[in-house]
Structure 1
Amino acid sequence: MAGHDQGLLTQRRSSTHAMWRWATPQAQRIVATGDLGKILRFHRAIHGINQATLGEDLGYDKTYISLLELGKRTLDDVNSRRRVADHLHLPPHILGVTDPADTDHRSMLQFGESTVRLAEIARQSGHATEAVAELWPLVARLEARVEDGRAEREVMHLLARARAGLGVALGNVLPEERLSTAAHWTAKSLNIALQFEDPHFSCDVLRMHGNELRKARLRGAAVARLQHALALAPGLDSHAATLPLLARAAGALGDGALFDTVIRQAEALLDQADHTSLFNPYALHEIRLRGLVATDRAATAIRLADDPPAATTTVAPQWHVIQFVTIAGVRLRAGDRTGSRESLEAAIREASAQRLPHQLQRILRTASGHLPDIHADAEQALDRLRQEMAA
């Protein structure tokens, strides 16, 4: 029985591996030709089967499979081409068949692309809950298609992006004790992205996964993923997107030397790369302050706290909350309870409006033992959010 179970496991792994091969660059080039002979040979290669076995699966003899692969025979009737496409887990249009199911598939891909883009806009605008609501059904639909053996390259690419977007959005709306769920979804995205052998895509997903690992307090793993992302970064913009997150993770890990190096690299790029909601002087100021405190240099943070640079681009709403909490912590270390109270009061209002439970938890930690009334207000706001999430 154990041998039977092991055999099934091996078969399942082999099937999954073969299914992934349709998403590789080599498979993409072969599929793009629409050449049935090349497609059949590639299918046999990834499954490790001969012409006789493929013929049995398709209802043809070995000789006919050989003729098809050599281009000496063609499949002229639509039903035969549809049957072959179905067996190979390819969309019918690859073999010249257009039907309602395939049209629905293309529409789903177009809809999915729009959904991922709009969800990211919603998240950046402070509406992460709406982003989650949009991405859940898309991910479920794509996963169902893959489970059914339909692992076309464009489906896998979209699924990776949708999973990553879902993980990042969940990372905004979940409380700290559940942030591992966000990291779980970005990890599932990474499992796909690395198969594409596309440095830009892999860098993007590694960056998102690394940041969610940091938030889930898996700091060593976060630094490793973000360093990998930086190594793959294909251009200035990718470097600029990765460096702030690596600095945050290095600071959280308490690695002062790495933190300082990365901050210097990020600041050196400020005049070269485009500014974004993450990569700009305003965001880097907050990252520097938090990292200095985390690496036992609070005195330096105190000197810098009250001289923030002006925002050079539109700042995502959640960044204002992050900044308020960080500034409040630095002011407390400087003995400025009044200034800290003002920052935390503003942070509570914004975190409640944007439904950011883990930022409320940061407020609780900052206020604990120093500002009991602020601690109580943040606790009430967090309880309200948890009740809404439970409902």
Structure 2
Amino acid sequence: MTANRGHSMQGLRPSQRHAAWRWATPEAQSVLASRDLAVILRFHRRVNGQNQSETGALLGYDKTYVSAIELGKRRLTDVTALRHIADRLALPPHVLGVTDLADTDFRAMLQFGQSAVRLAEIARQTGHASEAVAELWPLVARLEARARDGHTEREALRLLADARLGLGTALGNVLPEERLVTAAHWTAKSLSVVGHLDDPALTTTALRMHGNELRKAGLVGAAVNRLVRAASMAPSPTSRAAVLPLLARAAGALSNAPLFDRAVQETRTLLDQVDHTSLVNPVALHEIELRGLISTGRTRAAILRAEQATPVPTTAIAPQWSVIELITTGKVRLLGGDTRGAAELLTQAVNEARTQRLPHQLQRINRISGHELVEVNDAAAHALSQLRTEMAA
């Protein structure tokens, strides 16, 4: 553990960094919940490998004084002394029964932050990903500053993980392809926190979201690796169902037909067992299947699949999914020789992608339309240029 709250965790030795995260473990939560300074000091010494002399030096106390506290022979009630110990151990003062303005402000931020993450996700799902980014940037910055100061309380780290995931996912919507690695960077930073929280559901979610951003950034092999791990450790059918469509997309992009087929088939089975979401529903699965069939060399099967009736929506579909579906269906129409139908779908996709500020989808349209649909290609290029100008400003 750092001996000074102002020291950055990145400056600690590996063993010290590992110990610093121990305040976030379930065992630590039990220790902190006791509000017993003797128990907290013994836990701190154990996870840091310190003897009483070393802990005394950290706190500015004699070894015998530390021993007296741990044995219950000396009970501290002085607010200044308790605040000093909390500061040295990088703990919020309320753990030791002390409150101050900074601690009260931080706890208010935790409550605000949880609402901010939820509102940001709603904004992203309703086609306002740029607003989600603006909402999450300051929250992530503040939480990261607290972590650098050595404060690694579980509730703060959980919020940091959620905020980083939300930020990475929102960036994955608003950034062009050449910058999508930035989105994957933020979801990866969430994984570095999640590993210390011992929460299978959260770990599954983080692996799922990071895997999807890796796929979008073109790191398909790594994406499949993360998504296979997420599926294997999913704690419930609902959690697994959220992973499988993304695994199917990544497996298709990797041209792994057997894995793609298995993921699609299991997703189809789970659709009858779980509540449908913007990702887990027949419409999304239809788009994923079309794209995957093309990527795995089964274009004819994709064309035949597209000619069948489009699935009826069973839940609200996120606007960006509607754009994605238009683009994929337009590509299948073009491959099947229906240039007019493809142009209509892709033109609609250009307009909606411009409105929703989705540069990555405009780039997809550019590649698909190519020289066959010149007007669509020009419209997509113009819309993309406008978005780039706005982003640069």
Shorter-chain TM-score: which interval? over 0.9
Match of 1:5 in 2: none
Match of 1:353 in 2: 355
Post-superposition CA distance 1:86-112 (Å, at most 9, x none): 110000000000111111010010011
Post-superposition CA distance 1:157-195 (Å, at most 9, x none): 111110010000000000000000000000000111121
The question of 1:144 aligning with 2:130 is answered no
Match of 1:302 in 2: 303
Q: Which aligned pairs between 1:73-112 and structure 2 lie closer than 5 A?
A: 73-112=74-113
Kindly indicate whether the alpha-carbon contact (under 8 Å) linking 2:174 and 2:358 is maintained by their aligned counterparts in 1: yes
Q: 1:9 offset after TM fit, Å?
A: 8.5
Letter in 2 for 1:337: T
Match of 1:321 in 2: 323
Specify the SS of the correspondent of 2:195: helix
State the distance in 2 between where 1:58 and 1:389 align.
49
- Scaled by the length of structure 1, what TM-score is found? 0.96
Q: 1:46 offset after TM fit, Å?
A: 2.1
Q: Which aligned pairs between 1:1-391 and structure 2 lie closer than 5 A?
A: 11-306=12-307, 307-391=309-393
State the distance in 1 between where 2:143 and 2:283 align.
38
Deviating runs (4+, > 4 A) in structure 1? 8-11
State the distance in 2 between where 1:168 and 1:57 align.
41
Letter in 2 for 1:309: P
The runs of 5 or more residues in structure 2 that have no matched partner are 1-8
Match of 2:3 in 1: none
State the distance in 1 between where 2:226 and 2:54 align.
43
* Deviating more after overlay: 286-295 vs 301-310: 301-310
State the distance in 1 between where 2:12 and 2:224 align.
36
Q: 1:145 offset after TM fit, Å?
A: 0.8
Q: 1:14 offset after TM fit, Å?
A: 3.1
Letter in 2 for 1:117: R
Match of 1:3 in 2: none
Letter in 2 for 1:267: R
Q: 1:364 to 1:234 in 2, by over 3 A?
A: same
The runs of 5 or more residues in structure 1 that have no matched partner are 1-7
State the distance in 1 between where 2:140 and 2:105 align.
16
Q: 1:59 offset after TM fit, Å?
A: 2.5
Specify the SS of the correspondent of 2:273: coil
* Equivalent pairs, count: 384
Q: 1:10 offset after TM fit, Å?
A: 8.2
Match of 2:4 in 1: none
Post-superposition CA distance 1:217-240 (Å, at most 9, x none): 100100010011111111111011
Specify the SS of the correspondent of 1:122: helix
Q: 1:360 offset after TM fit, Å?
A: 0.1
Letter in 1 for 2:315: T
Kindly indicate whether the alpha-carbon contact (under 8 Å) linking 2:10 and 2:148 is maintained by their aligned counterparts in 1: no
State the distance in 2 between where 1:278 and 1:30 align.
40
Structure with more contact order per residue of length (Cα contacts < 8 Å, sep ≥ 6) = 2
Q: What is the root-mean-square deviation in Å for CA atoms of aligned residues? A: 1.2
* Deviating more after overlay: 250-259 vs 59-68: 59-68
Letter in 1 for 2:365: I
State the distance in 2 between where 1:100 and 1:229 align.
41
Match of 2:6 in 1: none
Specify the SS of the correspondent of 1:90: coil
Specify the SS of the correspondent of 1:195: coil
Specify the SS of the correspondent of 1:229: helix
State the distance in 1 between where 2:150 and 2:199 align.
23
Q: 1:327 offset after TM fit, Å?
A: 0.4
Q: 1:54 offset after TM fit, Å?
A: 1.4
State the distance in 2 between where 1:235 and 1:153 align.
23
